[in-house]
Every structure is written in C-alpha cells, then in structure tokens.
Amino acid sequence: MSLWFTLSKDEVIKSLDTNTKEGLSSQEVEKRLESFGRNELEVKKKESLFKKIIGQLEDPMIIILLIAAFLSYVSSGFEDWIDSVIILLIVVINAIISISQENNASKSLEALQKMSAPLAKVIRNGKLENVETATLVPGDIIELEAGDLVPADVRVLSAANLKADESAMTGESVPVNKKDIDNLPEETALADRKNMLISSTVITNGRATCVVTDTGMKTEVGRIANLLITEEDNTTPLQQKMAEISKLLSIICLGICILMFIVGLLYHRPILEIFMMAVSLGVAAIPEGLAAIVTIVLALGVQRLVKRHAIVKKLPAVETLGAASVICSDKTGTLTQNKMTIVETYTQTNQSEQLLLTIGALCNDSKLTSKDENDFKVTGDPTETAFVTKAYEEKLDKNQLEAELPRVAEIPFDSERKLMSTVHKMEQGYRVMVKGAPDVLLNRCNIDGETAQIIADKNAEMASKALRVLGAAYKDIEEVPEELTTEDLENNLTFVGLVGMIDPPRQEVKEAVAQCYDAGIRPVMITGDHKLTAVAIAKELDIFRDGNLAMTGSELDVMPQEILEEEVEKYAVYARVSPEHKMRIVKAWQSKGMVVAMTGDGVNDAPALKVADIGCAMGITGTDVAKGAADMILTDDNFATIVHAVEQGRGIFSNIKKSIQYLLSCNIGEIITIFVATALNFHQMPLVAIQLLWLNLVTDSLPALALGMEPVEPGVMKQKPRDSRKSIFADGFATSMIFYGVLVGGITLVAYWLGEYVLSDPAVADGTANTMAFATLVFGELTRAFAVRSETRSIFSIGVFSNSAMNKAFVVSLAMQLAVLFIPVLQDIFKVQSLTGIEWLVVIGLSLVPLIISELNKAIRYRGVKAN
C-alpha cells in the first residue's frame, strides 16, 4: 500500500524529486519511464486455440467419451462408424461451449485498460502540454478539471471545489470532496483519503493541481488488475461432481474389462470373443449422452434465468447458485434503491414544511424535467435531487418556483464552509436561502440557546438512524451586495428546519433476506459506505441480527487471516473495505466449506467477484470490469433476483441429479444383464452392442433430457444448502441408483429367461429371448423415467402429464422403439424379431415393475410429503 497520503505536500514533492512550477524535464521523464515502466496495465498472455482444445481433452468425461467412440467402432467390427461419429459430435459440441465461455478474466482486464484517459495535461520543462497518459511517470505535475478522468494515482497539491466520483473504486455512492490536506493517519481507508485521487475515477466538480505518485501496475487499479491476473478460476461444485462421476466410470469400465477377461478365460472362450464381450460391457457402462444432457439442462436453466433478470455467462454457474450458502452483497443499488430520499423532516413550530422544501429545491443545482406528476426526472447531485424530488411529490415544482423566485446570485457549496447560499428576487426585495450542515448553520441563525439545543438534539436523533441530515434557513434583504461575501449572506438567518435522507432499502429485499434464512443461506453486507449507515440499513433488512458484529476495513487490516477465518461467522456487515478486504472475506467463508456468491458493481469488486464461487455483477450500474470478472449479470441490480436464481439453481441441480440417477441406473441394468449372462455362460448375449448404443444414445437420452426440464419442486427454498464437499452419491443416491439398476437388470434377465426357456424352444435360437430382453429393458427404463421425476412425491401427486417435455420424450422414444421392433428393415439392423401377443403381455408387465415398486417405496417412506 502506498502511503503518500500520510505525508505533507512538501515531503511528497521532495520524495518524488520534482518541481511544482517547472515539472520534470524530458530527459528525466525518459529515465523514469525506463525505471518505472509505462503507465499501462499488464495483460495476462492468452492461450492459443490449440492449447485450449488440448485442455478440453484433460476432462475425464471427455476421455471416457472418446474411449466410448473407439469401443463402439470396434464392437461393430470396424464397419459401423455412425454411432462413433455421434459420440464424437457430442465431444465437439461440449468443447465449443466450454471454450466460448473462457477468457472472462482477460476481458475484465481489457475493460480496465479502456478506462484510462488517452491524454493528460502535464507541466514539463516549465510548460503545460498534453501528453499520452501512458507516458506519465511518478513526479509529473498534472492539472485536472471537471469531466477529466484521473490518469494515474495522484496527490492533490491545490484544489478549488474539487469533487471526484470514486464509486467504481470505493463504493462511495456520492462524489467525494477532495482537498490538499497533510498527514492523514496510516490506517485511513481508501475512501477517506481526501488528499489523493485514484486512477480511472472521474472529476465531477472543480479543478486541481496534483503530482503523480504511482503509475501502471502500482496504482490502485493496477493492484486490482494484478489480483485478476494471479487469481485462478475456481472449479464449480458441478464440475467437481462430474469429475467424480467420470472417475467412478473409469474405474468401473476398467474393472468390468478385467473381470470379463477372467470369466472368459475360465470358460475357455477365444480371446477375440472375450475382447468383444468386454467391449460390449464397456459400451453399456458409459452413458454417452450424459455430458450433452448436463450441458443442455444448464443451457435451459440459463434461458429461464434470463426471464428473471439474470444473465449467466458460464453454464456451470447456474448450478453453483443452487449450492450457495453465503451471499456477500454490496449495499448501494443492490440492497438499496441507489437514490437518496428524504424520509424525515423537522420544522420549527412557526415554520412550514413547504418553506423547508422550497429552500431545499431552490438552493440547489439539480435539474427537473417533467411531463406530469407521475412522470418526472431529476438530474444532479444525489443529495440535491432528493430535495427536488420530495418537493415535487409535495406539489412544489422547482421550475415553477424558479419562475416565481428567480436566482440572481449565489455562493456555491464549499467543503470547508459546509454551506450553500442562493439569492432570489421577490416581489419586494430579495430572499437569501441557505442549506448545509446543521451544526454550522445553527451558528449563523438568530436563535436562543434552548431552541438551539432542541434542534441539535433532533439532529443527533436523525443522525443516530444513519440519516444524512441537512438544515435550511433564510433571511430577507432589500438589496444584493455588489460583492457577495459569506459574512453578508450567511449571518442573522432564520432557521426553518431539518431534513433526514438516506438511500432506502428496496422493498422486495427484506422478503428476499427472509427467504435466505429459510433456505439456510447467510446474507452478508460488504460495502464501501460508512459503518453507521451500513449497520442501520442491515438492521432494517434483518441482515444484522442480535449477536452480529460489524467491522471496518481498518479493523480488518490488523486482523490476521486465520483469525478472520475462525470468527467470520460473527460478522454481518463490513464497511469501508478495499478490494483485498473483500477477497479475504470471501476466502474466509470458503475456508469453512461454504459456497459463496458475491455481488458488486465497481472496479474494486472485480477481484472478489472472480474469487467467489459465483460472482454476480450489476447490469445497470456495473462497470465493464465487474461484468467481465463475474459469472452472472443482474439486469435489474436487485438482491431479490439472486435469491430467485438460487431457487432455480437448486432446481437445476436436482434435475441434473435425476438425469444422472436415471442414466446410471439404466446403465447398471445393462451391465447386470450382460455380466450375469456372461458369468452363467448363456449361449447367446441378451443384448448386442448396437442395442446398447441405441439405448444410451437415443432411448435413454430423451427422457433424461426431459427430467432436466422438470419445474422446481415446492419447498426447495425451505431446505438447507447442500454440502458442496459431499459426494453426489451420498444420502442414499448410490443405494437407490444401484437398487433400481439391479431391478431393471433383473426384469431384463427374467424376460430373457421366459423368452428362452418358457415361451419358445430353447433348442432353437430364434431371437425371441433377445428381443424380449431388449424390449423389456427399453420399456422398463421409459416407465422408470416417470418415477424419477420426484424422489419423494408420487407421480400422481405431481401430475402424470405435468411435464410436457417428458410426455413428448416418452412418446418419441416409444415410437422409435416400436419402429425397431415392427419394421422389417430395422428388425434386421437391430437383430430383433416380431413377438406374439403373450410375449408382448410379458414384456409390458415386466416393464411396469420398476414404476410400481418406486411408487410403493415413496408411499411407504414419504407418507407425510404433500404435493405442495
């Protein structure tokens, strides 16, 4: 951290070896450019497209799919390549989607670079000249005025009515007064360094002469850029779960192949035959459509979130939201309306509120444009717009007031004086209107000590509520002095009243916060605003509860990270924080195994947005830098939208789990069928390779995809967040999957046995048994899909036809399977034959067994679970 703000102006000039009148010489600038480098941000070197493609091949699921493509080709006798091409197409589509979602960090860095001003006014060789911002060096003397972008971190040497908008860097919602003061304490927060200007912020008022203290990566913006470069992207919980599934499938495939070879050797079968059986079982074990289905389900979730004002940039982030257990939110504009509003007024007994608002609206530089009383716009300083808005709501139109009482003179607001005065023409004489800090204003009014104490107490009462308090006063004069002075205009005033204003909470946020607590999610406020204001808003929204604590950035500076990690749960509000502080807070929560969502809009939020498990940038007020670093953009800048997104995320993960369980249980059924047939030395396989691929790529995939389109189940926001560290196979998932897999395999083997030994002549291999097994497996899996729609609720309670996608998937898959079983050409390709009526009755009866058992299980285990 640079400590230029702690020094006096003379010490700064001496340390930088410069001259305020002459500036630096050209030769000295060249030397310093070599020493300090150009005033530019570094950009992380981009990976080539080839490296990105190679990186995709490191994904275990992609490797498994490539193996499946090869095995499929081998199992066809190196003749049928269509199934292999389909699998490879799935791999390519997933790679394209993944690569297209990368480079967000580099985009945010590019946005940081674009924030730099192209030219700066610099004194060099004793002359004022415009130079490229990139050539600025520490020690350069620059001049700034309203509208300028600050080109580097600078120390203010002299200033006149200087204000800067630092909201993007500090979170301060209103322009900050800057002045040439010396020796601020070392622990002074970035937002309170009144003698410094931050690179890439905007001068909104006044002018200044400054000296450049830091350039390039040494600036505050540079520090943020460095954090973005050095912080690696996190893997999402879903990516971790998919890697877990890939690892398991790899082990299963390898184990199956080894086991198959052992069994084949025991039966003294030819090596080639053993290999082909192992290949068939390997194909059965791999759910080829799983990666594509997960991608599509996430993409559908993204589309649903767009309708809820959330744009998701990375597909896995949709599901990550569902695991969120902590939401760290900025205050201004997210929890609040980002609009200063007068919420309380106080007037002296003999004064009216209309006079108070009239003074506030006229002693004011804001502009009012209106079509009617319900359609108006006020532009200007947030504090001043609050006066004009309140007056307009009370039928006091500023434009009409100005026509009746035109301004003829003024003394602008000054941060030292803390007052603003205007003079207005009346029918007879003139009225001086003054507004400003109550404590200063009271000293300028004709008022007795007892009344002054009453007003001071009221001021303190409003301030204790974290309201920004301003006072208003006036006096009438006969003539306007030729030379306006504060002594003439701002003395012997008549005190009118006080107004208390605040950026009020959004109405819908309190309900959203309550939903968070119901869902086991901890909301935390992290803001650049003052501690008192932050705590007041947090209390009103119920974020700050009994027993909670609040902390400032300066207090956080002296707290070691390990202590923060131990005590982070105690704190509900962090105020006056820096980018590093925000990252530390996020990482402290993550150290406890929490999945953290972080909201922000400023450049200073970008590092925390990147390090969080899910970064949410503001779409309206957010900077390009914040949007570039985030995973999701809120188009309405609303905290409630995040809560809606969490609900969708939970539903999406639940649906993905349903799809995974359905596909894997189907695959287990296929493995059981082939393995048992091999182990018991059946004279023919119940299923052949092309039938297995048909199941995995076509028949199973459509219902699995339809499961991903299930509506969010009722009560999902009454559950605690899932533990992101817990295996996807925990909590009975694996048990259920294996049970139904064995059940599906069992009915398939029963169908085969009946077809082989009961319903046909076992001495004649006519294909009846194989066809019955194939048909039973397909229809059993299709009916099972309806049971998987809900883990706890009956298919009849949620509605058999309530998911239109499932109905369509069932009809299409059924039609395709019937075509295979009835059309002669397809019968030949898939090695099946026509069945008799009794054989069809057996197939249909066995196919309904998984659905019936699932419904009975739910009826017994979840009797208390209702449909709503």
Distance (Å, rounded) from C-alpha 644 to C-alpha 683? 57
Residue 853, pLDDT > 90, answer yes
Q: Residue 101 has what pLDDT?
A: 44
Catalytic residue among 330, 381, 601, 605, which? 330
- Give residues with Cβ within 8 angstroms of 856, minimum separation 6: none
- 827-843 pLDDT, tens digit per residue, is 988 889 999 999 999 99
- 488-515 pLDDT, tens digit per residue, is 899 999 999 999 999 889 888 999 999 9
Distance (Å, rounded) from C-alpha 166 to C-alpha 144? 15
- 156-180 pLDDT, tens digit per residue, is 999 988 889 887 788 676 788 898 8
Say how many CA atoms lie within 13 Å of 93 toward its Cβ. 16
Q: Are 571 and 326 in contact (CB under 8 A)?
A: no
| Candidate from 353-362, 598-607, 844-853 with smallest mean pLDDT | 598-607
User: Does residue 345 or residue 626 have the better pLDDT?
Assistant: 345
Residue 457, pLDDT > 50, answer yes
Distance (Å, rounded) from C-alpha 380 to C-alpha 364? 9
Residue 213, pLDDT > 90, answer yes
- Give residues with Cβ within 8 angstroms of 73, minimum separation 6: 80, 81, 83, 84
Residue 539, pLDDT > 80, answer yes
- 701-754 pLDDT, tens digit per residue, is 889 889 988 888 888 898 898 887 777 888 888 899 899 999 999 999 999 999
Report, as an integer, the average pLDDT of 35-45.
80
- 584-627 pLDDT, tens digit per residue, is 999 999 999 899 999 888 788 888 898 999 999 888 877 777 88
Q: Residue 103 has what pLDDT?
A: 45
Residue 16, pLDDT > 80, answer yes
Average pLDDT, the chain: 84
Report, as an integer, the average pLDDT of 244-270.
75
Banded pLDDT at 868 (limits 50, 70, 90):
very low
Q: Residue 174 has what pLDDT?
A: 73
| Candidate from 201-205, 315-319, 438-442, 456-460 with smallest mean pLDDT | 315-319
The CA-to-CA distance between both ends of the chain, in Å, stands at 55
> Tokens 């600025």 belong to which residue?
136
- 795-804 pLDDT, tens digit per residue, is 888 888 888 9
Q: Residue 76 has what pLDDT?
A: 55
Q: Residue 209 has what pLDDT?
A: 95
Q: Residue 767 has what pLDDT?
A: 83
Q: Judge whether 330 counts as a catalytic residue.
A: yes
User: Does residue 63 or residue 183 have the better pLDDT?
Assistant: 183
- 748-786 pLDDT, tens digit per residue, is 999 999 998 888 766 555 688 999 999 999 999 999 999
Residue 279, pLDDT > 80, answer no
Q: Are 430 and 480 in contact (CB under 8 A)?
A: yes
Residue 210, pLDDT > 60, answer yes
Distance (Å, rounded) from C-alpha 834 to C-alpha 494? 103
Q: Are 144 and 212 in contact (CB under 8 A)?
A: no
Listed ranges 106-110, 303-307, 386-390; the one with the highest mean pLDDT: 386-390
The Cα-based distances of 852 to 776, 794, 855 in angstroms read: 15, 11, 5
DSSP-based three-state secondary structure for 286: coil
Question: Which of 751, 790, 789 shows the shortest CA–CA distance to 771?
Answer: 751
